[in-house]
Structure 1
Amino acid sequence: MHAQDALSTAGPDGVLGLCGAALALLHSLDPADLGYPCKPGEGRLVHGDFGPQNVLLDHAGTSVAAVIDWEFSRLGNPLEDLAMAEWVIRTHHPELAGHLSSFYRAYGARPDWPARKEAMVRLCHGFRDFCVQWGDPEAVAMWDQRISATEGFRE
């Protein structure tokens, strides 16, 4: 079951809690143990596009079966994954933003609002820059709108 679909069928608190716990586990992994050539303190493994859109649950919707779409994974700051997951909820499921506490509770930490918002805006700029490189003016315009919307987010 796709976690994004399960937000409405299995309940947002449970699904976001499962996502938060899965991300905490991911961020607890030592990149060197996974074969990443890295130096101590160089960063943690980040998914790069984490959120319910890239989490698969078991048929009952009670456990994470897989985290998919790893093409943006790298060493970085875990705040990037937290910001992406929050951005996905605020953008695609704004009615569920009040349930983000379940995600952060399961993750075990909730960075302060200014840091989360700044990270969300920075992610949007990164996607916009990608669209500029591809020469897609419609996509650039879409990301300009998303940047503006994200800058307007309130905790």
Structure 2
Amino acid sequence: MRPLRHGYTNDTRGDGNVVLKRYQGGIDEVLRRGTELSVLERLPAGFPVPAVLGTPEGALELEQLPGLHGQDLIDEGLARPVLRSCGELLRRLQQVDVGRVFPGTAAGTGWVVVHGDFGPNNMLFDQDTFRVTGLLDWEWAHPGDRIEDVAWCEWIVRRHHPRAVADLGELFAGYGVRPSWARRKQAAVARCESFVERFRTGPTAARRRWQENLAVTRSWSE
């Protein structure tokens, strides 16, 4: 198996049919693996996620899905159709029964299934239609507020694809609503703060990276 591109935290390798994902990063590896496994097994049939093929210790064997990586497509100048498809898929995800994916979630909370790292960085797209063929990396998934994923998708664009910020309207068009900037920024800041706290006793480089991300995010204006 060869290392796959766009793997930042974990060791991810594929042979064209199977992806072997070993959980790394210095923190919560067992919990992250367990979260991804349970979510992938509980999402409804037809949702564009890889099938679980095996569960070796410390890793998962997953179906290798077809499609082009969202970050590559944005770098090629195709942010508009990519971001519209991101919004459309997020709207679909938030219609999934949260109690099915996270049993025990209290009724009436208004919570939805939150991917936790939603954005073109974790998505594959059909090269002709830009339909999402794969939403990957569910290790940070949890029940939560619907603002979280849309705000984080915007964060990915602002932080890693600044030239595509002008195309963010397509994300909200696909999603069906444009939440207020105050709510979106607050959610992005809170997410960065959670990573700063998570890595407080973890690897120094990771902690410094998230402290920098937090400072940059706090400086943004719409």
Counterpart among 52, 60, 82 of residue 15 in structure 1 = 82
RMSD over aligned Cα atoms: 1.5
Counterparts in 2 of 1:1-155, with a 5 A limit? 1-9=68-76, 11-34=78-101, 36-42=103-109, 43-60=111-128, 62-134=130-202, 136-155=203-222
Moved more, 4-13 or 15-24: 4-13
Contact 1:83 1:117 in 2 (8 A): yes
* Aligned mates of 1:77, 1:39 — CA distance in 2: 13
> CA separation in 2, counterparts of 1:35 and 1:154?
35
Alignment-mate amino acid for residue 105 of structure 1:
A
- Taking only the aligned residue pairs, the percentage that are identical comes to 33
Deviation at 1:107, TM superposition (A): 0.2
Give the Å deviation of 1:132: 1.0
Structure with greater strand percent = 2
- Aligned-residue offset at 1:37: 2.6
Please list the CA deviations of residues 98-147 of structure 1 after superposition, one character each: whole Å capped at 9, or x if unmatched. 1111001100111101111111111111111111132x222222212111
Gaps of 5+ in 2: 1-67
CA–CA distance in 2 between the matches of 1:62 and 1:147?
31
Matched residue count: 154
Structure 1, unaligned runs of 5 or more: none
Deviations 1:41-85 (A, max 9, x none): 231111011000111112425211111100111110111111110
8 Å contact kept, 2:113–2:142:
yes
CA distance in 1, matches of 2:188, 2:179: 12
TM-score (norm 2): 0.66
Shift of 1:11: 1.1
Q: TM-score, normalised by structure 1?
A: 0.92
CA distance in 2, matches of 1:95, 1:35: 37
**Structure having the higher Rg:** 2
User: Amino acid of the residue matched to residue 184 of structure 2?
Assistant: R
Is 2:84–2:170's contact at 8 Å kept on the other side of the alignment? Answer: yes
Q: Would you say the 8 A contact 1:12–1:99 is kept in 2?
A: yes
The structure carrying a bigger helix percent of its residues is 1
Q: SS of the residue aligned with 1:133?
A: coil
